[in-house]
Amino acid sequence: MRGRIVSTLFATAAAAGLAGTAAAQVTDPVVRYGQRLADPGEFYLNTEDAREVVRYSSPRDVRLCLPRNAGVDQRAVEDVPVTVAWGGYRATLYPGNCLYFDAQRVMVSPAKPLPNGQTIHGTIEAGATGG
């Protein structure tokens, strides 16, 4: 299931329980449990709000990937691109692709409204200090 938009109990609970900003306190225990299950280097988007996925004191080499949906029923789950913002730059990342860049802070958000009950799952790696 890695790297796809998933419709799960977590995604359904997140869509129902996360109205508001990404900075809002999550109180739904199912959503909090699902967020704790995320491995280091993974991110989930389940609202239209921007989410910070990297913050360092100096720029780092960043690899951000949005794997293509690999669900059981491809017609039931839509691939949704994300908008990536860093250091005054902005790019749209489409499923099945990666971006490589140097950044100190990185924000991601869905590039278009998410279908009801869907969550975007992506991966991110931040390596050595950029040069």
Residues 74-121 have pLDDT tens digits of 555 678 899 999 999 999 999 999 999 999 999 999 999 888 778 888
- What own/partner pairs with CB < 8 Å and gap ≥ 24 does 10-15 have? 10/34, 10/37, 10/119, 11/46, 11/117, 11/118, 11/119, 12/117, 14/44, 14/46, 14/47, 14/119, 15/46, 15/47, 15/114, 15/116, 15/117, 15/118, 15/119
In whole angstroms, give the CA distance from residue 68 to residue 58. Answer: 31
3-state SS class at 48? coil
Domain range enclosing 114: 9-129
Residue 4 lies in a domain: no
Counting the structural domains of the chain, the total is 1
Residues 2-57 have pLDDT tens digits of 333 333 323 333 333 333 333 344 556 766 666 667 678 888 888 888 888 889 99
Residue 3 lies in a domain: no
CATH number for the domain including 41? 2.60.120.10
pTM score, two decimals? 0.68
